[in-house]
Each structure stands twice: as C-alpha cells, then as structure tokens.
A and B are shown apart, each in its own frame.
Chain A
Amino acid sequence: MKEVILVGLNHHTAPVEIRERISFPEEELDRYLKALYDLPSVAEGLILSTCNRVEIYAATKVPDKGVEEIKAFLAHQHHLSVPEFENNLYVLQGEELVSHVFRVASSLDSMVVGEPQILGQIKEAYRTAHTAKGTGTLLNKLLHKAFSVAKRVRTETSIGNGAVSVSFVAVELAKRIFANLDEKEVLIIGAGEMCELTAQHLVRGGIKKVLVANRTEKRAVELAERFHGEAIPFSELPHALLRADIVISSTGSQDVIVSKKDVSAIIKKRKNSPLFFIDIAVPRDIDPQVNTIDNVYLYDIDDLQEVAEANIKDRQHEAQRAEEIVSTEAKQFCRWYQSLEVIPTIISLKEKMEKIREKELGKTLAALPQLSEKERRALEALSEAIVKKIIHAPISLLKKESRNSEGETYVDVVQKLFGLDEE
C-alpha cells in the first residue's frame, strides 16, 4: 500500500543561505515536477516552494527509497551535494506528516503565525501538480482535507485577525479613518527605514501618491523615486501638510517638528479634511497634543507597538486553539486512512483462506472418489466452518483496532502472519 512522505526544509530548520539555493521558481515548476515524477519510487508528488519553505510531498510504496531519491533529486536540481543540506531537512510520515501539512495550511507554521498567503501558495502548488497529473487519491485526499482544516481554523479562531507589525497597524488604522486609500496622499518626513516600510505597506494598500521631505535632499529624491513619488524641500513642509492625508514622520530631530499650533492652522485651511499622523521617531517629531484637535489623529511608535503586541498575544492565544483543531483533525484523518488499509487486508485474508481451502478440499476429494454426494458436502461444510472459525478472531481484531492508532501495527502483523504481502 502506498504511503505519503514529506521531505522539506523551512525557516525553522534552514538559514536563508540554504533556503535561497534550494527553491523552485514558479515559472519552472512544471519542469521540476516532471523530473520529480520521473523518480522510480514516486507515484504522486507535489512541490511547495515559498520564500520560507520548500517541501516535497510524495506518495510511494517504498518510503525509505523514496526519501533517498527525493534528497538526491533536491541535490541534483540545485547542483548541491546531499550532505550540504541534509541536516536542514525534515522527513515526515504518518500522523506527523498529516498534522504538519494541516499546520502549514492553517498558517500555524508560518514565520508570522496567521498570515494568510500560505494557504493560497499551497493551493497553487497543489493546482500545478494536479494539472501536471501528478496527484492521485492519496495526495488529493490529504490536500483537500488540509484546505478544509485551514478553513475551519480561519472561521473558528481569529488567528488571522489584527495587524501584528507596526507598519501594518498603521495601515489598518488608516483604513479606519479613510474610506478609500487610493485617493489619499502620504507625506514622509525623514527618510528612515521604518518610514519606508510603512509607506510601502500603504502603497500596497492603494495610496495614490507619496511625498517625501528630508533634510538631505538627495535621500528624499532617492526615496521618492522608489515610490514614483515627489520629493519636496524641507522648507515646504507646511505646504505639503495641506495636501497630505497621512503623515509618517521619523526624523532624527531632537525637537518637535510639527506643533499643535501649526496643525490647528492647517486643519482650518484644509476645511477639516482628516489628517492622520504616524510618529515613529524617538524623540517624537510631532507634538502629542495634536491628537486633541478634531479630525486629527496621532499615533506614536508606542501606541502602534502596543496595538501590535496586543494583536500578537491574541494570535498566540488563538494559535493554541488552532493547534487543538489541527491535532484532532489529524488524528481523525489518520484513523480514516488506517481503516482504508484494514479493508483490503481483510479481503485478501479471506481470499487467501478460501484459495487454500478449495485447493486442499480438491486434493482430498480427488483422493476419495468413493464418497457419496452427502459425504462430499459434509466435508465441504467442515472445511468452510474451520476457515471461518480461524479467521474470525483476526478479522474482528483488525476491525476493532482500525479505529485507534494501533491499527497499522495489527495490519502489519496479520499480513506477515498469514503471508499476505508475499504475492
């Protein structure tokens, strides 16, 4: 019977130097899949490659050989030798594998727990493998179950809720204030890295235009170019404050750059059009009193951090609940899978016994031609009864054990005892 194996590495087990060397770019995935399906031991296969993980799932009749072949495959495709990365690999099978794939799909194994992209990525990986006709019953069942577990985790826990990084919190807040980011302009004061990151998220959120003001103009121009924005001289700041809807500030200045008086005057000129300040500078650039003005909202780095931390805590709490869901689902899935294994075993046990009975009965009857029809029938009934009695105990044991985790062992033992795996 076939079994699923997993050979993979992720951000927990492998440093980025290794991860970047062993990756399967999306454009060439078809070619890689083809090479994977050419491995003699691989009956079904799937490659999941994201920036944080590379995992190869395969269904095979010979797990040990399969693992070796896949390791060699990884080495060969990326021009490495197996020992170079072998220590970074994890190899999973059985219930461990099932719960792993459920955790990955549910984003419990992600760098940022609860991030939503991974489910899409794993779905895409499955779709590609499926189109390449590389998945069969086993992987289909496993992956579909993983998708539904991920969905269950998403609806029953709030693991994906709440922004968990300062810059995402800023974007979330902007969306609470403004209806549509794509009509808004963001002004960056000071060209620090945090500013850039936050602006990046805002731009991805749809922001229309980025303005950059920096004391050294060269850096402002550089940053503005990156966002196809506009660099403005630092002296024009008051003017820019009239245009912008969101202001991100992180200068190294020791003094306040924007005072309450400035903003009061500006907001009047803006006809009270809302203004959202994100002050990520320490010491702060924007007078905290600004927040008391109507239609002006100010969040400093501590406020944002607090929100992010609260959200992280929420997520961790939710992650625990999600783990419980995953582990019960994984157990259930394995039980279901084992019960599949029991049925063929029972059938082949019955078939084998029947074959022996017929053969031996035939021999006996051939040696005793003088028996009457009645006696022949009695012999036949006798043989049937013996076989039935003998296999009754093993079959009911198999059926019973298939419902718990020991099932696999019993299937194995019965197959060996009765020599079922010989044909």
Chain B
Amino acid sequence: MNVIFFQITLLFYVCGTIAYLIYLVSFHRKVAWVGRMLLSVGFIAHCLTFFLRYIEAGHTPVINLYESLSFFAWLVVGLYLLLRFRYKVEVLGAFVSPLALLLVIWAATLPKEILSLPPILKSWWFPIHVTFAFLGYAAFTLAFCAGVVYLIQERLVKTKNIGTFLERLPSLEVLDKISYRALTIGFPLLTIGIITGAAWAEYAWGAYWSGDQKETWSLITWLLYAALLHQRLMVGWRGKKAAIMAIVGFGAVLFTFLGVNLLMEGHHTYAAWFR
C-alpha cells in the first residue's frame, strides 16, 4: 500500500516540477500556483506513504537508502511549503522541487521491501536522532537553494544585465533573509541531531564518540555551519559570501548523508541493508 502512495507522490512531484520549470521560463503566476498545488498534493501523498509504511513496518521507516532518500525529500518539500507561507517567493520552488524530485526518483529505483529493524536500531533514540538530523539537512537544503538564487540575482544586478529575469527573481535582501533563517533553524536541529546521536551511542556502546566516519563528517558539517553562523552574527557576513558558504555547507551535508553511507563502512552504512 505504501509503495502505491509513493508512486502517486512521485507522479505529483514530476508534474509539480514541470509546472515550476515552466514558471521559470514563462513567469505566469498561475503556473506557479499550479506547481505549488501539485507539490502540495504530492506532499500529502508523501505523508500517507510515510505513515502507512510506519504502520506496516512497526518502526520509523528510515533504515535503508530508499527510505532515507524519501524521508529527506519529504522534509525538504514540507519545509519549503512552510516557508512559502512566510515568504512569497515562487522562484525558489523551481529550485527546491527538482531537487526533491531527484531524491525521490533515485529512491524509486531502489528496492522497497520493508526490512526488519536491526537490533542495533531498536531504541527510542533512533527516531529522535534521525528526525532531527534530517530536519537540519532539509533546512540547509533550503538555505542552499536560496543561496543559488541569490548568486544568480547578484550576478544580474552587478553586471547590469537587466533582462526580464531580474525583474522576476526575488530581491537580494529577501533571498539573504531566507538563507539566514534556514541557517538559524537548521543549525540547532543538526546540533540536537548530533547530541542525541552521541547520547544514544553512549547508551548503546558506552562511548559518546567512536570515530565513526559518519560522526567525523557530521562534525565537519556542523563546524562549517557553525563558522557560517559565526561570520554572519559576529562579522556581519551577508549576501554573496554567505550564499557561497551555504552552498559549500550543502556539499558537506550531501557527503555526510550519502557519501559516507555509500562509500564507507560504519554504523550508518546502508550497504548492509539495501540489497
């Protein structure tokens, strides 16, 4: 059942992304509205997917790569739709939706059987740790998208390349604000994610820190965002530098999330499960 809903989700994300991309070329407000509606319906289907899978599996379904990608995409879309309430920036959707779609398409190619929960994950720490870490990732994804749009707009303004495109992208200040807001939300979430992970490790293995690759890379990611936050708050970084940093940080997020799990061995490796 959950797989059917996953496919419905995929279908709506495909349509929503197409609409948003059309919006990017045509800038018809109605097209953006259609995109948002499609994405919202997809999101609702995604919620059901997650919920049904949770019921069917009997545990938080974020234990293999398929589930993790889907969960990540779900949070990214959800956070974007929330953000859209506060900032009316349709253009961002044209960057967020393809990204979420890619994640979901990748997930779609992977085996989807429900696996039994490995004993090591049988703990209440598991859903808490995973949710916070992923929420942090999702917020950073939005910061990344806002950063990309910022750099495009900044380039257009600086080079005096005044096409109609410039007129339709959000103002630099708004883009910077969104990126900053996403950072201030994402950072504490990731921090909690890391702390709960450490606490859980202490509880399970008797050590807060065991030098696992995932742990190391999470720390690197965390430090990058800590540096960005520091520069923003104390040095008054804004705009271009902050946008570039948010993009670099997102690279670290991707590597921590996917690179480590796929390329290296450790507690977080999916390789053992996803065959």
- Assuming the A-B contacts A161-B167, A303-B160, are A176 and B238 also in contact, with contact meaning beta carbons closer than 8 angstroms in the complex? no
Q: Is the Cβ of A274 less than 8 Å from the Cβ of B160?
A: no
Q: Judge whether A177 and B172 touch: CB under 8 Å.
A: yes
Q: A271-B236, A272-B237 are in contact. Are A179 and B167 (CB under 8 A)?
A: no
Q: A179, B177: Cβ atoms under 8 Å?
A: yes
Contact flags A41-73 to B (C-beta < 8 A → 1, else 0): 000000000000000000000000000000000
| CB-nearest residue of chain B to A294 | B240
Query: What is the bound-complex CA distance between A295 and B153, given in angstroms?
Result: 12
Contact A310 B157 (CB under 8 A): no
Interface residues of B in 154-198 (CB under 8 A from A): 157-158, 160, 162, 164, 166-167, 169-174, 177
- B267 close to A (CB within 8 Å): no
Return A109 CB to nearest CB of chain B, in Å: 25
A414 contacts partner chain B, Cβ-Cβ < 8 Å: no
Q: Is the CB of B238 within 8 A of A295?
A: yes
Check if B241 is an interface residue, CB within 8 A of chain A. Answer: yes
CB closest residue in chain A, given B238: A272
Interface bits B230-258 vs A (CB < 8 Å: 1, else 0): 00000111111100000000000000000
A177-B171 in contact (CB<8A) = yes
Q: Complex Cα distance A293/B164, Å?
A: 25
Chain B contacts for A273, CB-based, 8 A: 236, 238
Q: Is the CB of A173 within 8 A of B157?
A: yes
Contacts of B166 in A (CB 8 A): 176
Contact pick for B238, options A158, A175, A274, A291, CB 8 Å = A274
Q: Does A147 contact B (CB under 8 A)?
A: no
Report yes or no: B158 in contact with A177, Cβ–Cβ below 8 A: no
B174 close to A294 (CB less than 8 A): no
Check: A192 CB closer than 8 A to any chain B CB. no
* B172 lies within 8 A of A176 (CB): yes
Say how far B128's CB is from chain A's closest CB, in angstroms: 36
Q: Closest residue to A271 on the B side, CB-wise?
A: B236
Asked, given contacts A179-B173, A291-B158, A299-B160, whether A172 binds B167 with beta carbons under 8 Å apart, the answer is: yes
| A294-B153 Cα distance, complex, nearest whole Å | 13
A400 to B65, CA, bound (A): 73
Residue of B nearest to A307 (CB): B162
A295 and B240 contact, CB distance less than 8 A: yes
How far is the CB of B38 from the nearest CB of chain A, in Å?
A: 23
**Interchain CA distance A306-B159 in the complex, whole Å:** 13
**What's the least CB distance linking A276 to chain B, in Å?**
9
A158 partner residues in chain B, CB cutoff 8 A = 164
Closest-CB distance, B233 to chain A (whole angstroms): 10
Chain A residues lying within 8 Å of B239, measured Cβ to Cβ, are 272, 274, 294-295
Min C-beta distance of A269 to chain B, whole Å:
9
Give the contacting residue for B173; candidates A161, A169, A178; CB below 8 A.
Answer: A178
Q: Which residues of B contact A85 (CB under 8 A)?
A: none
CA A397 – CA B237 in complex, angstroms? Answer: 80
Q: Which residue of A lies closest to B159 (CB)?
A: A291
Smallest CB-CB separation from A270: which chain B residue? B236
Kindly list chain A residues whose C-beta atoms are within 8 Å of the C-beta of B241.
Answer: 294
The reply to whether B171 and A176 contact each other, CB–CB distance below 8 Å, is yes
Q: How far is the CB of A312 from chain B (nearest CB, A)?
A: 13
> A179 CA to B150 CA in the complex, in Å?
13
Bound together, the chains give a CA A368 to CA B14 distance in angstroms of 88
In residues 12-48 of chain B, which contact A (Cβ within 8 Å)?
Answer: none
For A303, what are the chain B residues with a Cβ–Cβ distance below 8 Å?
Answer: 160
| Given A272-B238, A272-B239, A179:B162 Cβ within 8 A | no
Q: Does A410 contact B (CB under 8 A)?
A: no
Tell me, in angstroms, the Cα distance from A179 to B173 when the chains sit together: 5
The one of B164, B170, B238 that contacts A161, using a Cβ cutoff of 8 Å: B164
B162 neighbours in A (Cβ, 8 Å): 169, 173, 307, 310
A162 within 8 A of B: yes
Residue of B nearest to A169 (CB): B162
Residues on the A chain within 8 Å of B160, using CB? 299, 303, 306-307
- B175 to A, closest residue via Cβ: A179
User: From residue 141 to 185 of chain A, which have CB atoms closer than 8 A to chain B?
Assistant: 158, 161-162, 169, 172-173, 175-180
> With a CB–CB cut-off of 8 A, which chain A residues contact B172?
176-178, 274
11 contacts between A and B (CB under 8 A): A162-B167, A176-B167, A177-B171, A178-B172, A178-B173, A179-B173, A272-B237, A272-B238, A295-B238, A295-B239, A310-B162
Name A's B-contacting residues (CB within 8 A).
158, 161-162, 169, 172-173, 175-180, 270-274, 291, 294-295, 297, 299, 303, 306-307, 310
B interface residues (Cβ-Cβ under 8 A, vs A): 153, 157-158, 160, 162, 164, 166-167, 169-174, 177, 235-241
